Structure 1
Amino acid sequence: MTPVSGAAGLTGNDAPERLDRKKVIFLSPDEEILAGLGYKQEFKRAFSPFELFAVSFSIIGVFPSIASVLIYAVPNGGPSAMVWGWFVASLFLVCIGISMAELASAAPTSGGLYFWTHTLSSPRYKNVLAWVVGYANTIGLISGVASIDWGAAVQIMAAATIGSPGQSFTPTNGQTFAVYVAVVFSHALLCSLGTAFLARLQNVYVAVNIALCLAVIIAIPVATPKEFHNSASCALGNFTNLNGWPNGYAFILSFLSPVWTICSFDSSVHISEEATNAATAVPWAIVGSTAIGGILGTAIMVVLSFFMGTNINAIVNDPIGQPMAVILFNSLGQRGTIALWAFVVIAQYMMGSSTLLAASRQSFAFSRDGALPFSSYLYRMNSYTGTPVNTVWFTATCTALLGLLAFAGPAAIGAMFSGLPVAVISVSFMSFISVTFMFPSTPQTNASQMNYSVVVLGGVLLGSLLWYFFPKYGGVHWFKGPVPTLIIVDDDEEDKSSQERKELFQVEAAGV
């Protein structure tokens, strides 16, 4: 056990040059690791290793995620791109997961990504890089909640269309937005509850997601009429390109399905301060959820490609508006599709809940370091629930506002979806795929069909830099990176310097 002294409520330029040593306490192993990173324990550690895995896995939400973004794979190669695009991209995503797991094992903290950036960057650039990464990660997670909850709203409306006479119901943007806002704020209510309840809830989430995947893998082959059965050469070799890009690039665009589905494995990092045995549980949660998501997703894509029929145009242009719903309708009929689709919506809803949970913890961590506006208000722990209720509602409000992009056109709301060897592979693939998904879905485009991902990402990066370098009030004048909320006291020794902490982090990350 390591003795430490605490200093609560220190954010931004409120932190003193040196903290007063007031009282000495003894820490558990998890608290000791967190103390080594400069933070006191504020959350209740109620998440077991399995429940931490369940957070990442429920956010991945394999089948409902595929249902939300299958529209990007079907027209960009058809059956073969669905299968091989998922398989190839999954291999790269596992590499990224392994790289992130290595960092998480050394520094399991809620603000992991920007904390690692600050610790491992050169002294000259570490503050600005941590600032940009922190804002990109915070806004990226909020955008993730928006995309998932928008997907849930669209899926609810798809169910209404399926259930209407002759599938005649066509929802308006206003109706979909209203459902979306209701979903977002119901998640805020849920995520404001106590940590122990949220931890137990993850067991339900993972059970529903796995059961749904297995149901689809079994039900579709059994129920699909013969007219929609495809041969192996069609399912695994047919390449149908409807959007006009060269075939090679169209195949790359099919990567969006697995990348958007599996890329949320970092969510367990943001729950690490609420997990037991975090230094081991977090990396296993990342690798386990990534690998299992890749395997289950590949299996689902294989099943779909064998039982979706050959008329790709009909699937893409059906009035239902969701390729997955069309495939299910062809295989299971109206009643069977509505029954299964209800569980898709439930699983998608669970994804949004877990993602808002992770996003609120990242916002809490960033406000703890004084980087967000109103940090003194956001960095508060509710005395009744033991959770950061203020940051939960802040995140939910920002998410609801992002939904207004729907009124700018389908391409604008679509922007929220776009958004040593293993490390080299990971960085290379992330760099490549980030640029790739800035392009529009078709070579010929206009203002309403433009891919606004470049606007969203560019706005985040430019806005964060402008705020950092803003005269007098910008972060350059006061942001110094992660702000310690306690210091390690080792008998009569001097406090560890930031350089010593960096060297310790590098040694642990290298597995020495």
Structure 2
Amino acid sequence: MAIKQQQATSDNAQAASDNNSLSDEDGRRIVELGYEPVFKREFGRLSSFSFAFSISGLYATIATTFIYGLQAGGAPALVWCWLIAGSGCMCIALSVAELVSAYPTSGGLYFTLKYLVPTERVPLTSWLCGWLNLLGQVAGVASADYGCSQLLLAAISMGTEFHYQPTAGHTVGVMAAIIFLHGFINSLSTKWLDRITKCPKIAVYWVFSDK
């Protein structure tokens, strides 16, 4: 047990060292771009991966859309759609990852357009990118939380042997509560968000460690 604790301490120290080096490197890159670093960089590799994984909304999006593929083409349609669409999405993900790593600033693609688009087209392209990103965020959060609400109420209905039947009002109400909860969590400081993303790692370590 003591050896595992020492190993965990060593891993945490190494992670902190890696995060500091990455932060310093990003800070120098921002200065080269003509900006002064003002945000605290408190997300490590695990936190960054957790946020990237959670923003895809796997729990509330995949489960709620399985029925359409099954009805349209059955299991083969789901498999081929996943392979084809997944390959295209992976190309986009790799391209975006390359861009945001080259320009480590807030704003993401909205900012990188300044360097990738011809000068005369930057205002219009940035305007379109900003509004499309905003609409995508609003629609994405609403659809993911609505699907999450449906799944939660369906689980409750099955748990009561279908004596409880959720209504549209119940679904919207639970959706609003989930949106409020998500808004509260995302309003926390990056320090607390980093700690929240480490909870699964701590739980896994506790389960597999000696009592």
Q: Indicate the TM-score class for this superposition, using the shorter chain for normalisation.
A: 0.7 to 0.9
With normalisation by structure 2, the TM-score equals 0.76
Q: Is the 8 A contact 1:58 1:205 kept in 2?
A: no
Q: Is the 8 A contact 1:150 1:180 kept in 2?
A: yes
Q: Structure 1 residues 205, 43: CA separation in 2 closer, same or farther (over 3 Å shift)? A: farther
1:159 maps to 2:172: no
Residue 187 of structure 1 corresponds to: 182
1:45 maps to 2:2: no
- Out of 44-53 and 58-67, give the one that drifted further: 58-67
Q: Structure 1 residues 206, 121: CA separation in 2 closer, same or farther (over 3 Å shift)? A: farther
**Map of 1:355-504 to 2, 5 A cutoff?**
none
Residue 78 of structure 1 corresponds to: 74
Q: C-alpha deviations, 1:70-120, integer Å up to 9, x for none?
A: 122211211111122112211111111111122122112221111122221
Residue 88 of structure 1 corresponds to: 84
- How far the C-alpha of 1:130 sits from its partner, in A, is 0.6
Q: Structure 1 residues 106, 125: CA separation in 2 closer, same or farther (over 3 Å shift)? A: same
- How far the C-alpha of 1:180 sits from its partner, in A, is 0.9
Q: C-alpha deviations, 1:367-406, integer Å up to 9, x for none?
A: xxxxxxxxxxxxxxxxxxxxxxxxxxxxxxxxxxxxxxxx
- How far the C-alpha of 1:36 sits from its partner, in A, is 3.1
Amino acid aligned to 2:196: L
Mapped to 2, the partners of 1:118 and 1:104 lie a distance apart of: 13
Q: Is the 8 A contact 2:156 2:164 kept in 1?
A: yes
- How far the C-alpha of 1:39 sits from its partner, in A, is 3.3
Q: C-alpha deviations, 1:278-316, integer Å up to 9, x for none?
A: xxxxxxxxxxxxxxxxxxxxxxxxxxxxxxxxxxxxxxx
Mapped to 2, the partners of 1:136 and 1:39 lie a distance apart of: 26
Q: Is the 8 A contact 2:60 2:145 kept in 1?
A: no
Q: C-alpha deviations, 1:136-165, integer Å up to 9, x for none?
A: 112212221111111111111111221233
1:196 maps to 2:191: yes
Residue 65 of structure 2 corresponds to: 69
- How far the C-alpha of 1:168 sits from its partner, in A, is 4.7
Q: C-alpha deviations, 1:354-374, integer Å up to 9, x for none?
A: xxxxxxxxxxxxxxxxxxxxx
Give unpaired runs (5+ residues) of structure 1.
1-26, 209-512
Residue 139 of structure 2 corresponds to: 143
Q: Structure 1 residues 182, 56: CA separation in 2 closer, same or farther (over 3 Å shift)? A: same
Identity of aligned residues (%): 37
The count of residues paired between Structure 1 and Structure 2 equals 181
Q: Is the 8 A contact 2:60 2:144 kept in 1?
A: no
Indicate the RMSD between aligned Cα atoms, in angstroms. 2.3
Q: Which of 1 and 2 has greater Rg?
A: 1
Residue 166 of structure 2 corresponds to: 171
**Map of 1:174-323 to 2, 5 A cutoff?**
174-204=169-199
Give unpaired runs (5+ residues) of structure 2.
1-22, 204-211
Mapped to 1, the partners of 2:125 and 2:201 lie a distance apart of: 35
Q: Structure 1 residues 174, 155: CA separation in 2 closer, same or farther (over 3 Å shift)? A: same
- How far the C-alpha of 1:30 sits from its partner, in A, is 1.8
Mapped to 2, the partners of 1:148 and 1:86 lie a distance apart of: 19
Residue 53 of structure 2 corresponds to: 57
111, 114, 121: which is aligned to 2:117?
A: 121
Q: Structure 1 residues 29, 106: CA separation in 2 closer, same or farther (over 3 Å shift)? A: same
Amino acid aligned to 2:88: F
By percentage of residues, which structure has more helix?
2
Amino acid aligned to 2:182: H
Mapped to 1, the partners of 2:153 and 2:124 lie a distance apart of: 43
